Amino acid sequence: MKPGEFSHGSFALPWITNAILSLLGFGLLAFTKQLIAEFHRFTIGFSGVAGWSVILYVLAVLAILTLPANRFTLPLILGFGIAFRLVTLLPEPFMSSDIYRYVWDGVVQHAHISPYRYVPGDPVLTSLRAPNRDLFDHINRRDYAHTIYPPVAQFLFYGITWLNASVTFMKLAMILFEGVTVYALMELLQALGRRREEVLLYVWCPLLIWEIGSSGHLDSAAMAFIALALLARFRQQPIATGAFLGAAILIKFYPLVLVPALWQRKDFRMPLTIVTLAAFSYACYASVGWLVFGFLGGYVQEEGMQSGTRYFFLQLLQLLPGLRHVSSAFYLVGMLVVFGALAFWSWKAANSGFNQQRAKFWLRLFRLPERAAFLPGVLFLAFAMMLVFSPHYPWYLAWLIPFGVLLPNLPVLTYALGLFYLSATPLGAGTAESQYRLNSLLYAAVFLAGILELIARLGYGRIVAVRNRIA
């Protein structure tokens, strides 16, 4: 009998689960279609679609975490997940134009030109505009920004556009990367003694349906390689861990924070693999010199990272008496110290040998086997990074969802779904005042969710301890 299947006359219970999931799935499918309709005509607005999608998703999560399942449940979950993405595949992206730059970078490379050398609006690339006018007209920052995407992302752009240089095909490729993520997550769930059906937390997440299925964000590829890195780390494969994590870092830089939690003590094969892959990847584009880092410096300025206007914790700090003029540099130094301590803790927890009381505490808290001791560190590093840098765009939080699948917890879901929903309301207008109000609500909700999560986990641990003593 498989996990989640009941016996002794309760065989019908999983069918109730499947019926509930079917109703919720059809509801999410209807709101996915409504999302596309909202591109052309206002009916209930993006906030209405987002809000109802979140409600249905949360109900589905509660169902799959608490109700029994059978062999039909997983195909049902995956079938609806595919349906959600098929609805969003063909319509043109509406909420973000980043994908047009992905395809353009691939087109430029096929013309034997480095994507880092020229901005799209440069006269040198005039000959590429006419056959790719729809791409060019939708590229944001096309007149002043060199591409920002790292080398492995450029490898992907080249390969995908070699097959088909269209936005639809690029979206399809990002959806297929989600399939890789789902495979790795199901393998890990099974290895952790959990049901594969819990992959619903990823597959049905409305943030991913919008930002990957509809907008085709590159974060999907980064998530796929991160998930493969986690699977390789669980299987004690340091070279594969380094290769997959290095690929993720060279698609989106932020997975770099995961290195300490995935690095096995006294084994340098993982970090050496990352360094080797980075050296090779950048060498492929080294002819442009420092331009290989593209618009990274300009993006730091545009997004308020240099001035500090994007950091919500810094804004709170400046409200305290005598700290009004605290600089962003001071804040970043302080955050580096905090991250250094968290990175050391993550590395130590993942390599403790499982004989220390603190390590055992985290294993008990998340109910993990010993081989998965690295997972809490991975979660905390990723979550802390997002909280500290307080991104303004929901797709920046997409990579937290796989961690929320492996370690289901209220704070991560609250943060990701909260930003997803609030960004669809007037608070997502993008002004400094609206963003501060948005973050105030969001971070207060995350703080409350953290308290509730800790109380629930500690309470559960005490109940189990008492039950074991009685037994």
Q: Which position has the higher pLDDT, 15 or 303?
A: 15
* Tens digits of residue pLDDT in 18-72: 999 999 999 999 999 999 999 999 999 999 999 999 999 999 999 999 999 999 9
Per-residue confidence (pLDDT) for residue 355, from 0 to 100: 47
Residue 461 has pLDDT above 70, yes or no: no
Distance CA 156, CA 255 (A): 17
Per-residue confidence (pLDDT) for residue 107, from 0 to 100: 97
Q: Which position has the higher pLDDT, 199 or 364?
A: 199
* Tens digits of residue pLDDT in 373-429: 899 999 999 999 999 999 989 999 999 999 999 999 999 999 999 999 999 999 988
pTM score, whole prediction: 0.92
Residue 5 has pLDDT above 60, yes or no: no
> ∠257-432-331 over CA atoms, to 5°?
40
Contact assessment for residue 268 and residue 115, using Cβ atoms and an 8 Å cutoff: no
Q: What percent of the chain has pLDDT over 70?
A: 92
Distance CA 28, CA 22 (A): 10
* Tens digits of residue pLDDT in 425-445: 999 888 889 999 999 999 999
- Residue 274's φ and ψ, nearest 5 degrees, are -65, -45
Per-residue confidence (pLDDT) for residue 466, from 0 to 100: 46
In 3D, which of 82, 61, 84, 79 has the Cα closest to residue 195?
61
Q: What percent of the chain has pLDDT over 90?
A: 74
Distance CA 159, CA 232 (A): 25
* Tens digits of residue pLDDT in 210-264: 999 999 999 999 999 999 999 999 999 999 999 999 999 999 999 999 999 999 8
Burial class (CB in 10 A: 0-12, 13-18, 19+), 226: buried
* Tens digits of residue pLDDT in 318-369: 888 888 888 888 888 999 999 999 999 888 888 865 445 555 666 777 888 8
Average pLDDT, the chain: 90
